[in-house]
Structure 1
Amino acid sequence: MSSSMPDIANHSQALSEGTLDWVGMSNIEMPLQVSSEGQQPQVVTTSIDAFVNLLPPQAKGIHMSRLYLALDEMSGEQILCPAALQHVLNAFISSHSDLSDSAKVAITFDYHLRRKSLISGKEGWKAYPITVVGQIMQGNLSVELAIDVTYSSTCPCSAALARQLIQNAFTEQFSDEQISKDDVLAWLGTTDGINATPHSQRSVAQVKVKLPSDLAHFPIVQLIDLLENTLQTPVQAAVKREDEQEFARLNGQNLMFCEDAARKIQHSLNQQKSVEDFWVRINHYESLHAHDAVSITTKGVADGYTP
């Protein structure tokens, strides 16, 4: 009978001593069931980062397999929700009771939703990048939900310049003539009539919110709906010509700089009682410039998110 296998993490001393904030694993691939309020659970492929702190200065290391096994148990038996986060974090700490008193897990995945087109009623899939973060420090649980929402932004300055060019072209075309409605309508339907268009660009709102730890489900769909309804111009899935025309109209009626988008979302999130704190980064991926336009805002609570 061979002797028991050595456990270096338990019986060896660190080469140099010191406490460590976080030790663990990243990019763990694992399927999970995700629960969003009002929706059926959805199986998603996740990438997980899992950590505990390392308190004894002389300890060689943690038991990383214990973190994985706790996550594997959640994958097989639980639906991802705030209570499941708390359960797995407590398992991280209890399995390292002699080493750790804090734990953290970050779970990243795409959440797929069927979204209707603007006019035609056609439906298509949209994937929303999501990150759920749970953390226990000094016995306190914090829960964070992060979502990226992609939308179209049309530049107000560009729109004003385009309107001026159209006005100039109108003056040149009809300066010495008796103007008739039919002539103007026909002219407006040509490239000479609409001789300039404002520039727009694909844009992304990156939003992180701190949530109460006693929520039964993550408000994933509710937050997505809130952000898209606030911005008014989310990118579309299935579209017919009438949907594309309506999208053009919505862009024209919702001109915005990155500052405008940030303030719109800031106002909407401030109305949500379940959002304890938020951090928002607006990215307008410029079609005019080679650089991006960015605006960042937070709720501004004490000891909360910082820009």
Structure 2
Amino acid sequence: MSSFNHRDTVLPDVTTEQSSAQVPVIDNVGMQGIAIPLHVLGKRGERLASQAKVDVTVSLDHPNAKGIHMSRLYNLLQQYLSNKDLHKSALLSLMNSLIESQDGLSKSAQLNLHFDLTVSRPALISRMSGYQSYPATLCIKRSPERYVAQLKLRVPYSSTCPCSASLSRKALSEVFVQQFEGKDLSVEDMGAWLASKQASIATAHAQRSFADITLDLANNDIPDFVGIIDLVETALGTPLQTAVKREDEQAFAKRNAENLMFVEDSVRRLHAALSKYYQATYFRVKVEHQESLHAHDAIAEISGSIHR
């Protein structure tokens, strides 16, 4: 009988074979898209996410090694993250263990945690509320020199074109003059006409827009996710709404009129808001206005250091 049928047979592992030839260093090798039940908490202990997709890699620095011990990376993710609350101490231990698990093959490791933050958002006027989803990625790198953490966050908002708003006001003004020039109108008459369908001469074009925020985190702490979202939405002034009543929809229309924005205006607002953000050392912002007038989108990018 072949020895391969015995339970005590040692199964071959080709990854342990070494080549006599020198091979180049591989920057990152590992796995991506691993599903992990992970509890992401807010500052008040509220659960913001309950699952994540994880990318994990290590460098392959040994000059003669064929490959890494990949299954060890997977097992360490389960040990440190599966059904656990996300904490800085666990991430620090995990990153060190990822490198140590390779028995001298690796000098650095990288971890990307992708999750959707589900945050309760109140309506503008009424007592309605609902949940908004914000895609986020927490990127962590560990090397012999340093440990760094970075947050990437996408915040949706509404933007109304200042040029379109100006042209709409001009069109309304022209029709108003044509219709009522020389007539004796009371304030009540003007108000009634402006509130009628006849006054819907033109409307400014608005679009769903996105702010992609990247923060280099100070002290590598778990960031205040909701605090950052609040900061961005307050700076822009036109956050997307969830559950609304008519008074909320009217308030939203007013917000858009009060915060007319080109992409240049949006990034400047975010630059001012993030320049003093206490949990980061550097920021990058990209905004995208998904045009309703054009078949293409408008974008702008800005970055800067944090000043305390």
| TM-score for the superposition, normalised by structure 1 | 0.93
Q: State the partner residue of 1:263.
A: 268
| 1:156-167 matched pairs, under 5 angstroms | 156-167=162-173
Match of 2:70 among 64, 75, 79: 64
Conserved in 1, the CA contact under 8 Å of 2:223 and 2:279?
Answer: no
Maintained 8 Å contact 1:232/1:254: yes
Q: Which of 48, 66, 72 is equivalent to 2:54?
A: 48
How far residue 300 of structure 1 moved from its aligned partner, in angstroms, is 5.2
Identity of aligned residues (%): 38
**Cα separation, 2, equivalents of 1:17 and 1:144:** 31
Residue 100 of structure 2 is aligned to residue 102 of structure 1: no
Structure 2 vs 1, CA of residues 14 and 26 (structure 1 numbering), >3 Å: closer, same or farther? Answer: farther
Give the superposition deviation at 1:211: 0.9
Q: Distance in 2 between matches of 1:42 and 1:99?
A: 37
Could you tell me how far 1:14 is from its partner in structure 2? 8.2
Structure 2 letter corresponding to 1:105: L
244, 248, 254: which one pairs with 2:253? 248
- Residue 281 of structure 1 and its aligned partner are, at CA, apart by 0.6
Distance 1:81 1:210, change over 3 A: farther
Shift in alpha-carbon separation, 1:288–1:77, aligned structure 2, 3 A = closer
For the pair 1:75 / 2:81, whether they are aligned, the reply is yes
1:15–1:124 Cα change, 3 Å: farther
Q: CA deviation at 1:265?
A: 0.6
Structure 1 residue 225: Cα displacement: 0.7
Partner letter of residue 279 of structure 1?
A: R
**What root-mean-square deviation, in Å, do the aligned CA atoms of Structure 1 and Structure 2 show?**
1.7
Which residue of 228, 234, 242 maps to 1:229? 234
SS of 1:192's equivalent in the other structure is helix
Counterpart position of 1:274: 279
Contact 2:53 2:113 in 1 (8 A): yes
1:295 deviation in Å? Answer: 0.4
Pairing 1:10–2:28 present? no
Aligned partner of 1:143 in structure 2 is 149
Corresponding position of 2:289: 284
Alpha-carbon displacement from aligned partner over 1:241-281 (angstroms, at most 9, x marks no partner): 11000000000000000111111011100021321011111
Q: Distance in 2 between matches of 1:35 and 1:176?
A: 65
In structure 2, relative to structure 1, the CA distance for the partners of 1:67 and 1:187 (3 Å cut) is: same
Between 185-194 and 252-261, the greater mean CA deviation after superposition: 185-194
Q: Which runs of 5+ in 2 are unaligned?
A: 1-5
Which deviates further from its counterpart, 142-151 or 15-24? 15-24
Counterpart CA distance in 1 for 2:247 and 2:219 is: 43
Partner-residue secondary structure (3-state), 1:276: strand
Q: Counterpart of 1:46 in structure 2: which amino acid?
A: A
For residues 250 and 48 of structure 2, the distance between their equivalents in structure 1, rounded to whole angstroms, comes to 33
In 2, the alpha carbon distance for the partners of 1:61 and 1:120 equals 59
Deviations 1:200-252 (A, max 9, x none): 0000001010112353x321011011111111111111001110000000000
Structure 2 residue identity aligned to 1:159: A
Q: Is it true that 1:298 corresponds to 2:276 in the alignment?
A: no
Check whether the contact 1:117–1:237 (CA below 8 A) recurs between aligned residues.
Answer: yes
Measured against aligned partners, the alpha-carbon deviations of 1:84-128 in whole angstroms (never above 9, x if no partner) come to 222211111010131111000001011111111111111111111
**2:119 equivalent in structure 1:** 113
Q: Residues 77 and 109 of structure 1: is their aligned pair in 2 closer, same or farther, counting only changes over 3 Å?
A: closer
